[in-house]
Structure 1
Amino acid sequence: MKKRVILSVEALSPQLTGVGRYVWELAQRLPVEPGIKSVRYVRNDHWIADPMKLLIDGPRRKKSAYELWMRKVSKKPRRLRDRIHARFSVCHGPNFFLPEFAEHGIITIHDLSVFRYPETHPAERRAQFDQEFAATLGRTAHIITVSETVRQEVIAFTGFAPDKVTAIHQGVGPTFHPRAPEQLSPVLAGMGLTPGGYALCVSTIEPRKRISELLKAWRLLPLALRNRCPIVLAGSSGWLSDAILRDMADAEREGWLRYIRYVEEAALPALYAGARLFVYPSVYEGFGLPPIEAMASGVPTIVADISCLPEVTAGAAMLTDPDDVDRFVRDLERGLLDDGWRQSAAEAGLAVAAGYSWARCVQETAQLYGRL
């Protein structure tokens, strides 16, 4: 029997994070999956007719007749609401939580950082988990994780039976692929960059991403190498980032760092493909989309040797310990200068990244709906 689905889309916004990208791929691809009869979208317990509108900045739009009707219905007695929601066979909360009205459903847990690294999350985020996460788990029939590493963590943390937790890897979009320098120059010139003339880290600026350690190691590289190949940081500032931002400002003044903050989605593939090296020293991730996007772009990649990153890069990336500064410096220098490693890493990265696709991710999710 084909499934009617309610999908929660709180994570959608004009500036997509990794979780937002995952939710957007589900939102646009689920309606055309063979086992799906229909998909409705909910955000903060309000019905959304078109999730695409959530990706666009601008004035508040006029609500559709469907949204107005559903908002009216949501205020009706519970028995009437239950008759409406009974038509839907699956409710999926792809960003940790189920909607309040859902008596049962599926959730996606991307990582357990709010529990493992609570100091790196804002107080309101920690309060939300304290107040709502246990209640959501009590209504959850099945959990999706985005890596096997996190699946094992979630089983141990929640006590869910292993057959109630499924790992489904995320994907990489077709816009991430190798590009010739002449294709890159028009985009990179607007950022003051040249193809092959910089290393790249795409990351939120916060402690567990180990940006401070990256700066410390980069400062120890030979001066001529730093000048020839500055490190470019792209990403929004996160929680507890003030000290890191001060270190970054010092590095910018010294001339070997560029901080370009949030990059528009249309320009991101060129930024990846133009990098000489991609570095991702984060010590805790659920999946880690940026390294896979870099590998799909044909860029040699270095990641931390911890959490899910060895799993998802599958031997194609150099593994380093960002907390061991001497090793980190040696690995960065090799990543920039060792042409033999660089060639083999680029080829291996392309092969591994080819195994990840959003089409497969959504297909496996829809198949899971069908089995429940």
Structure 2
Amino acid sequence: MDHWHTDPSGLLTGKARRRAGSLIPRLIRRRRARQGFEERLMHGTNYFLPVQAEKGVITVHDLSIYLHPETHPSERIRDFEKNFERSLDRATHVITDSEATRRDLITHLSYPAAKVSTVHLGVSERFRPQARAMLDRDLLRLFGRPVGDYILSVATFEPRKRIEAAILAHAHYCDRTGHDIPLVLVGAKGWANDRLHALIEDEQRKGRLLMLGFVDDADLPAIYAGARLFLYPSIYEGFGLPPIEAMACGIPTIVSNRSCLPEVTRGAAMMIDPDDVDRLSAGIERALNDDIWRDGAMRAGLAVGAHYSWARCIEQTVDVYRLCNDLIA
């Protein structure tokens, strides 16, 4: 059996993107073989339809390149502008990862509302609470910290993720309280972050920040599940999968009050203005020490994590295929 069938998250990860062009048509073929559909629909899973496709479905993950162009490399903007509108013009229907991105597409690009559907992403069943003894063993092997002895942030190091705000707020918390629980950073290097890396190096010298960089997917569930708190102060997301993965592991979570994050976290996370470092720092203190809030956040987060499944994501995606099949029949 194909790996995507048991864990469809591979369709949306960097490792699988090179194969996505063959996997999605295979999914369509299997579904339509059972339902008597003809093969005539192309799905561009990452913004663009192939040039040879006259029509089809595209998935738009976010519109940060239009709404926050300052957070993207200029060459990416040029390439995107050249190809994206061509795909929109040919699209029979558009899928967005969140209702917030759907509204952005309709509002900012004047795209017809009837041609856009929201399909939330799913969370792999690998992300769940884990037994303490096994976690301690894995975490000590990975980076030498026991369970509950670090704060975690997982994100590509790019400007809109506001990793700098997380580091500064954590540093203020440590300076103010004298408690040096380390901040662990996981994610690819990204771009436009010379200042960020200087800040990281300074905090590493003080012994209160651990930079893991890119880690193997197999190790991520343990790293999430062993954290005491998860931080995600991004100013713009199409869905924001990392905080949902953290909550699915039973970890109290702080997110930005921007973009789709209030929508997808469904009231289970503490929401903070990412541009207010002092308030974010105070939020960290509360999230670490307020046991009543922590217990409620853990219970609510587990329910949110259970709400998002890849099976539901696939079924809703196929519903869009059916709609398009009716429209182009």
TM-score by length of 1: 0.78
Matched, 1:124 2:75: yes
How does 1:106-117 map onto structure 2 within 5 Å?
106-117=57-68
**Higher Cα Rg: structure 1 or 2?**
1
Alignment correspondent of 1:300: 252
Counterpart contact for 1:33–1:366, Cα < 8 Å: no
Counterpart contact for 2:135–2:147, Cα < 8 Å: yes
Q: 1:291 aligns with which of 224, 232, 243?
A: 243
Gaps of 5+ in 2: 1-9, 325-329
* Structure 1, 110-119 or 167-176: larger mean CA deviation: 110-119
Q: Distance in 1 between the 2:174 and 2:198 partners?
A: 22
Counterpart contact for 1:205–1:238, Cα < 8 Å: yes
Gaps of 5+ in 1: 1-8, 39-86
Counterpart contact for 2:252–2:297, Cα < 8 Å: yes
Percent identity between the two aligned chains: 45
* Structure 1, 215-224 or 242-251: larger mean CA deviation: 215-224
Q: Distance in 2 between the 1:328 and 1:34 partners?
A: 48
Counterpart contact for 2:248–2:305, Cα < 8 Å: yes
Alignment correspondent of 1:237: 189
Q: 2:105 aligns with which of 138, 150, 154?
A: 154
Matched, 1:256 2:208: yes
Relative to structure 1, the CA distance from residue 29 to residue 273 in structure 2 (aligned partners, 3 Å threshold; closer, same or farther) is farther
Deviation at 1:183, TM superposition (A): 1.6
Counterpart contact for 1:291–1:303, Cα < 8 Å: yes
Deviation at 1:226, TM superposition (A): 6.4
Deviation at 1:349, TM superposition (A): 0.3
Alignment correspondent of 1:141: 92
- Root-mean-square deviation (CA), in Å? 2.5
Deviation at 1:242, TM superposition (A): 1.5
Deviation at 1:188, TM superposition (A): 0.7
Q: 1:35 aligns with which of 14, 31, 35?
A: 31
Alignment correspondent of 2:5: none
| 1:361 partner amino acid | C
Matched, 1:277 2:229: yes
Counterpart contact for 1:177–1:298, Cα < 8 Å: yes
Relative to structure 1, the CA distance from residue 30 to residue 365 in structure 2 (aligned partners, 3 Å threshold; closer, same or farther) is farther
TM-score by length of 2: 0.88
| 2:98 partner amino acid | S
Deviation at 1:227, TM superposition (A): 4.8
| 1:235 partner amino acid | G
How does 1:5-44 map onto structure 2 within 5 Å?
13-14=14-15, 20=17, 27=23, 31=27, 35-37=31-33
Counterpart contact for 1:35–1:367, Cα < 8 Å: no
Alignment correspondent of 2:296: 344
* Structure 1, 219-228 or 243-252: larger mean CA deviation: 219-228
| 2:295 partner amino acid | Q
Work out the number of aligned pairs and report it.
Answer: 311
Alignment correspondent of 1:200: 152
Runs of 4+ in 1 over 4 A off after TM superposition: 9-13, 223-228
Deviation at 1:144, TM superposition (A): 0.3
Higher helix share: 2
Q: Distance in 2 between the 1:12 and 1:352 partners?
A: 21
SS of structure 2 residue aligned to 1:200: strand
Q: Distance in 2 between the 1:277 and 1:312 partners?
A: 18
Q: Distance in 1 between the 2:174 and 2:80 partners?
A: 45
Q: Distance in 1 between the 2:265 and 2:178 partners?
A: 26
Deviation at 1:296, TM superposition (A): 0.2
